[in-house]
Amino acid sequence: MTPLVQGQGIHKRFGRLDVLKGIDFEVMPQEVACVIGPSGSGKSTLLRCINHLEKIDAGRLFVDGQLIGYRQRGEKLYELREREIAGQRRDIGMVFQRFNLFPHMTALENVMEAPVQVRRENRDSVRQRSRELLDRVGLADKEKAYPAQLSGGQQQRVAIARALAMQPKLMLFDEPTSALDPELVGDVLGVMRQLAQDGMTMIVVTHEMQFAREVADKVLFMDGGVVVEEGTPEQVVGNPSHERTRSFLARVL
């Protein structure tokens, strides 16, 4: 089986700051990979590179066998055009720490927006699918609510439904519960857990170690722009072999 996501020797620099220093990783179809690590270790940057929000300086990144941002012909790489990049991005859903919903649109309109505007799909069929998605995230009764009328946890669940509306092959989550009040975290993690059970391939940056232990197939611990340790949750969270992993876990657990 080929990995759905594969990174080979990924390097990313911001000016003179080396943020990713040779990252290798694989995520198989239907796997959930949790990325943990201290602030500033490069976790968000890695997700942003997968989703074309940043361009890598060296290495290769594949999603579903396609080289991200490039076309390969023989030994040569050609940069993709804007349109082709948009095509690759469409297959990847991303949920951020901040919900970024369109404030002037209802929950249902937020979910419908991309399929209708970007993919030019039929409004009626998108509406039906979007209602099903709101139902799936437990918000069937909130379709007419505006973001300001929803709690942070509800907004984040709308954001998940909105990403799913584009029927992505891969979902990226960047600390999706970090901005939420503690009592709202569980509902969002519950939706993510269900999504994982339904077979979605997911990369989740999170500090929720309990979630990582229960849901992740693999955990990557990043520090200083490298993957220090990788393995099953039992290995990395339960019985880490590196001192850096142990001291990080001692701080977050």
**Residue 65: Cβ within 10 Å count:** 9
Tokens of 30: 């239907």
User: Phi first, then psi: what are they for 167, rounded to 5°?
Assistant: 50, 55
Q: Identify the residue among 6, 45, 106, 155 touching ligand ADP (CB under 6 A).
A: 45
Establish if 14 lies at the interface with ligand ADP (CB under 6 A). Answer: yes
Establish if 42 lies at the interface with ligand ADP (CB under 6 A). Answer: yes
Q: Identify the residue among 4, 5, 10, 19 touching ligand ADP (CB under 6 A).
A: 19
- Detail the DSSP E strand segments found in the chain: 5-14, 17-27, 32-36, 58-63, 66-67, 70-73, 76-79, 92-95, 170-174, 201-205, 218-223, 226-231
1-9, 22-30, 36-44, 191-199 -> range binding Mg ion (CB under 5 A): 36-44
- Return the number of the residue (17 or 253) whose C-beta is nearest ligand ADP: 17
Tokens of 253: 């657990």
Cα–Cα distance for residue pair 32/205, rounded to 1 Å: 11
Establish if 206 lies at the interface with ligand ADP (CB under 6 A). Answer: no
By a kind-dependent CB cut-off of 5 to 8 A, residue 126 interacts, out of Mg ion, ligand ADP, none, with none
Determine contact, residues 232/217, Cβ cutoff 8 Å: yes
Establish if 44 lies at the interface with Mg ion (CB under 5 A). Answer: yes
- Return the number of the residue (17 or 148) whose C-beta is nearest ligand ADP: 17
> In whole angstroms, how far apart are CA 50 and each of 16, 62, 85, 182, 188?
22, 8, 12, 29, 23
Binding mask 157-196 for ligand ADP (x = CB under 6 A): ----------------------------------------
43-51, 107-115, 117-125, 244-252 -> range binding ligand ADP (CB under 6 A): 43-51
Report the interface residues with ligand ADP, using CB under 6 A: 14, 17, 19, 37, 39-45
Report the interface residues with Mg ion, using CB under 5 A: 44
